[in-house]
């Protein structure tokens, strides 16, 4: 069986650890490449970096901010992508007015903690809303998430926060998608919930598959990797458009 080239895109302050729990399960299906955003400070530059490193044709899966990067890849070079998976993510720009300012204020408060107390202290606050509530007592899981963020610097955090605050509207990209698409999220994701993924799916002409993973929050790949692996394998089995 021919393996797919599969490019995996982590989200805000995340790295290979987001994807590591899936690798054994998908190794027979895909040749995997995990992206690092480095010092990039815009979603477009992250997408450009990805395209410079990726195979000529590849399947693409992005988690959280990585889903937004994946949509910018689709804007720049849709002909290179065979399959698209958007996981625990969004598509709209920062809201106008008070709502948008509230988002900025919340992000800047975390940025201040990272600069003044260290990234680990910021991560310990951040993780509270990023896993299913019943997993907050799972010390090994929480430590894996916190340690992952702590491997990045406050400067990288500043660059990625800038990228998210200045994120483009991807509505036009979604309305043009004609490839096998998976929309997946944790059922208990309070940041990027199931209704948001259903809203995204409704914009996509290619009729995407929508999967909500039970008993999982935003860090779905680290919380419940087995159903994520199953969804990805079924997605990759779909014929290219």
The angle formed by the CA atoms of residues 117, 119 and 124, to the nearest 5 degrees, is 90
**Cβ atoms of residues 35 and 8 within 8 Å:** yes
Q: Encode burial over 59-76: b for 16+ CB neighbours within 10 A, e otherwise.
A: bbbbbbbbbbbbbbbbbe
Tell me, what's the pLDDT at 1?
A: 57
Q: Which domain holds residue 144?
A: 97-162
Q: What is the CATH number of the domain that holds 25?
A: 3.40.50.1820
Backbone angles phi, psi at 215, to 5 degrees: 60, 30
Q: Measured between alpha carbons, how far is residue 34 from residues 14, 31, 128, 133, 149 in Å?
A: 11, 10, 26, 28, 16
Whether 95 shows a pLDDT value over 80: the answer reads: yes
pTM: 0.96
Whether 63 shows a pLDDT value over 90: the answer reads: yes
Instruction: In whole angstroms, give the CA distance from residue 123 to residue 13.
Output: 9
pLDDT tens profile 116-155: 999 999 999 999 999 999 999 999 999 999 999 999 999 9
Domain boundary among 162, 178, 204: 162
Tell me, what's the pLDDT at 3?
A: 85
Do residues 223 and 177 both lie within one domain?
Answer: yes
Whether 102 shows a pLDDT value over 60: the answer reads: yes
To the nearest whole number, what is the mean pLDDT of the chain? 97
Answer whether residue 241 is part of any domain.
no
Do residues 87 and 190 both lie within one domain?
Answer: yes
Domain boundary among 162, 189, 206: 162
Categorise residue 88: left if φ over 0, alpha if ψ from -120 to 50, beta otherwise: left
Answer whether residue 37 is part of any domain.
yes
**Cβ atoms of residues 226 and 217 within 8 Å:** no
Do residues 63 and 175 both lie within one domain?
Answer: yes
pLDDT tens profile 148-180: 999 999 999 999 999 999 999 999 999 999 999
Tell me, what's the pLDDT at 92?
A: 97
């Amino acid at each position: 069986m021919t393996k797919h080239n599969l490019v995996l895109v982590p989200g805000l302050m995340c790295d290979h650890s987001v994807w590591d729990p899936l690798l054994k399960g998908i190794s027979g299906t895909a040749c995997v490449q995990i992206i690092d955003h480095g010092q990039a400070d815009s979603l477009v530059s992250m997408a450009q970096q990805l395209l410079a490193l990726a195979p000529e044709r590849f399947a693409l899966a992005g988690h959280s901010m990585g889903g937004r990067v994946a949509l910018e890849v689709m804007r720049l070079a849709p002909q290179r992508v065979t399959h698209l998976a958007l996981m625990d993510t969004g598509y709209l720009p920062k809201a106008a007015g008070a709502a948008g300012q509230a988002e900025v204020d919340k992000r800047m408060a975390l940025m201040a903690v990272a600069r003044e107390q260290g990234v680990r202290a910021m991560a310990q606050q951040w993780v509270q809303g990023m896993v299913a509530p019943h997993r907050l007592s799972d010390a090994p899981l929480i430590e894996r998430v916190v340690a992952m963020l702590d491997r990045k610097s406050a400067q990288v955090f500043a660059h990625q926060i800038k990228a998210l605050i200045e994120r483009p509207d991807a509505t036009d990209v979604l309305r043009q998608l004609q490839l096998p698409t998976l929309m997946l999220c944790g059922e208990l994701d309070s940041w990027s919930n199931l209704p948001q993924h259903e809203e995204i799916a409704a914009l996509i002409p290619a009729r995407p598959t929508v999967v909500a993973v039970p008993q999982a929050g935003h860090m779905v790949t680290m919380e419940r990797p087995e159903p994520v692996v199953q969804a990805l394998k079924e997605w990759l089995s779909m014929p290219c458009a």
